[in-house]
Chain A
Amino acid sequence: MTRNGDQLILSRILKSLVTRDSASIHLLETITAGLNIRFSVRANGSLICGEELDGDFEFILEEDACEYGKIICDSSEGKIVADLIKSLVKKEFEKKRIGSEVLGLYREINMIYNFSAMISEKIDDISIAETALKEASQIIDTTHGSFFLLDTEEDEVIELASFGENPNKQSVPGQQNILKGLISRGTAAIVPSKLVALNPALNHLKSVMFAPLKVKHRSLGLVILGHENEKEFTAAELKLLTTIAIQSAGAIESAQLYQKGLREAREREEAIRIIHEASQKFVPHEFIKSLGKERITEVELGDQVEREVTVMFVDIREFTTLSESMAPKENFFFINSFNKRMGPIVRANEGLIMQYLGDGFMALFPKGAQYALRASVQMQEALKEYNCERISKNRTPVKMGVGMQNGKLIMGITGDVLRMDAAIISDTVNTAARIEGLSKFYGTSILLTKNCLDDLTDASEFNFRYLGPVKVKGKEHTIDLYECIDGDEKSLLEHKLVSMNVFERGMDLFFKKEFAMAAVTFQEVLKQHKEDYTAKLFLNRAAQLITQEIEDDWKGVVAMDKK
């Protein structure tokens, strides 16, 4: 406390004692009455108590050579009054001084209390550093501050926060090593002013002190405070700074642990996401979703659901012959290169590939035949492009048969607790597979059943030829077959469109058992395009039937005994 400050406080106490404090006033009155004297008190040049006296006796009121008032008295015995007042003021002054010190300590406690609460909420280094410097500067008289953290991975000291202008910030060589040294030493200190002046990094300051950021036995960094004016940092201030540094270090460690935990959690999530993504490639997400589950991990043995879908089989024609000319590895590349082209088309039409079958695959279209047929046509288009590529590389072009059937199926998880797989159980699947097999017999690129045709939301998008009923192995009922010609090679498609009416007439004659006329009609169609294998098939069948005896209930059903 300064002299002026002391003087102000002393005169304030004096005024309070002689004007407000009833106990002191009473005491003074009793004494002056007993001594039969009169007195007045002056402070700061004005009368604060008693009447204006022309007294001869003047007694200076002072404390530790600091004058704060005087007593004017009509008697020399006024000295007793003066001594009494001095003693009362002194006591009060000491009380106030202690009070002021206690209040100072209380402010510190309050600051540390608030500081702890504040930084314990922070989860990043920088806001901890900023808070620490802000709080330190509020309780410690300082003009400059820096908060450094040692990045152990980079072996570099980083300044997280600072205040006060620092002209030496950029350009001091060796500063990193000095800071590292101070951090590893791990002790707090007030830098002697001579050393401050000598240090090029600090010469904009007059006084400096620092404290390490210590957690247990490790030192994470350093807090430095400085003052640009002549000022000695006190031991009490260093202790405060040390307390702030320790609190900050704890908070920084928690924040780092928190960030680490967060990072690890993110990495775990990412790993799970990758696994999830990989698992989707083996069991389509659509399949899992159909079971009412979000993730493959939620799926249980025995989960199942019944759906009405279009089942499609795709097969590479004459794969066996083709594969004989290739090495196994080449074969595998060929299959992959084929599948790579077809898979995206299936998905683009909201289908899912249920199973790869070596020379083809099975796909499901939950949205029905419109989507499945669209995919079929697009796949035949893609195959044409692929064939162009193959021809340019002197490879044999390939053909692909597509067959489909609509119906209910059960999607589910089968197997045992240690080995599970997504499976579909349905008669529809068997039929679809048979239909695809028939597409070779009928010489069609896309073959579908009446069920599929009936399921179409817009049949006009495609062109069909009716191919009559068929009875597949192991089935009681006959199935009406249609070919979709839109996937055919261009000239064949054009031919089929042009000859559509003629072909239909041929079929009509055929089923009316007018086989001779039918044969002539199919001959007419075939003449226009030699590769119309379907027309050729019916021409042959009609020709055969001409000479045969026909039963009354003949319906032209083709009985397919082979698979």
Chain B
Amino acid sequence: MTNMNKKLLIVDDEAHIRMLIEQTLEELEDEGVEMFFAENGQDALELIKNEKPDLVFLDVMMPKLNGMEVCQKVKKELGLHEVYIILLTAKGQEVDRQNGLDMGADRYMTKPFDPDEMLDVATEILIGVK
């Protein structure tokens, strides 16, 4: 099975989190998944418009345009329903959860995230097997 066209976007304002997610999902690159990165909501929105990634890991707490707003714009305004969005929120801020789902997010994950769970989820969504 070829996944040459699969695209993954990682959005977080903290460089080390982007690096961690990249490292966690590294083996997906062998499957032909292309990785993109953005460090704020605005860049993320541009990338989503241009690249139409299959999966986005989207941090909620970001300056300028936060994850919730990006999510809302993508799902509600641009109508890009095929972009699978996973919101990342710090533990203890679970109140965001319903909010996030209301904004059209497909899934929700807490930080610190469990690397194995993240890889499983991404693999399932991008490659279709767990």
Contact = CB atoms under 8 A, between A and B. Distances in A.
Contact of A107 (B26, B29, B34, B115): B115
Contacts of B16: 102
Interface string B15-43: 01001101110100110001000000000
Nearest to A109: B112
Given A106-B20, A110-B115, A113-B91, 9 more contacts: A96-B26, A99-B23, A102-B20, A102-B23, A103-B20, A106-B115, A107-B115, A110-B112, A110-B114
Given A110-B114, A110-B115, A103 B24 contact: yes
Nearest to B115: A107
Interface in B86-108: 91
A525 B113 CA distance: 104
A170 to B, nearest CB: 37
B23 A103 contact: yes
A16 interface: yes
Contact of A99 (B22, B30, B113): B22
B29 A16 contact: yes
Interface of A: 12, 16, 20, 96, 99-100, 102-103, 106-107, 109-110, 113-114
Contacts of A107: 115
Given A12-B29, A20-B34, A100 B23 contact: yes
A120 B42 CA distance: 41
29 contacts: A12-B29, A12-B30, A16-B29, A20-B34, A96-B23, A96-B26, A99-B19, A99-B20, A99-B22, A99-B23, A100-B23, A102-B16, A102-B19, A102-B23, A103-B20, A103-B23, A103-B24, A103-B115, A106-B20, A106-B112, A106-B115, A107-B115, A109-B112, A110-B112, A110-B114, A110-B115, A113-B91, A113-B112, A114-B114
Q: Which interface class (under 10, 10 to 19, 20 to 34, 35 or more) fits B?
A: 10 to 19
Nearest to B22: A99
Contacts of A96: 23, 26
Interface in B1-20: 16, 19-20
A99 to B, nearest CB: 4
A134 to B, nearest CB: 15
A298 to B, nearest CB: 44
Contacts of B23: 96, 99-100, 102-103
A141 B30 CA distance: 26
Contacts of A20: 34
B24 to A, nearest CB: 6
Contacts of B34: 20
Most chain A C-beta atoms within 10 Å of own C-beta, residue among B16, B112, B115: B112
A457 to B, nearest CB: 65
A114 B110 CA distance: 12
A315 B104 CA distance: 87
A183 B112 CA distance: 34
5 tightest Cβ-Cβ pairs between the two chains A and B:
A99-B23, A103-B23, A110-B112, A99-B19, A106-B20
Contacts of B19: 99, 102
Contacts of A102: 16, 19-20, 23
A395 to B, nearest CB: 82
A103 B20 CA distance: 6
Nearest to B35: A20
Contacts of A100: 23
B26 to A, nearest CB: 8
A102 B114 CA distance: 14
B83 to A, nearest CB: 21
Nearest to A95: B19
A110 B109 CA distance: 13
Nearest to B111: A110
A99 B25 CA distance: 12
A100 B20 CA distance: 8
Contacts of A106: 20, 112, 115
A382 to B, nearest CB: 71
Contacts of A16: 29
B35 to A, nearest CB: 9
A110 B91 CA distance: 11
B59 to A, nearest CB: 15
Nearest to B19: A99
Contacts of A113: 91, 112
Most chain B C-beta atoms within 10 Å of own C-beta, residue among A96, A106, A114: A106
B19 to A, nearest CB: 5
B111 to A, nearest CB: 9
A192 B84 CA distance: 52
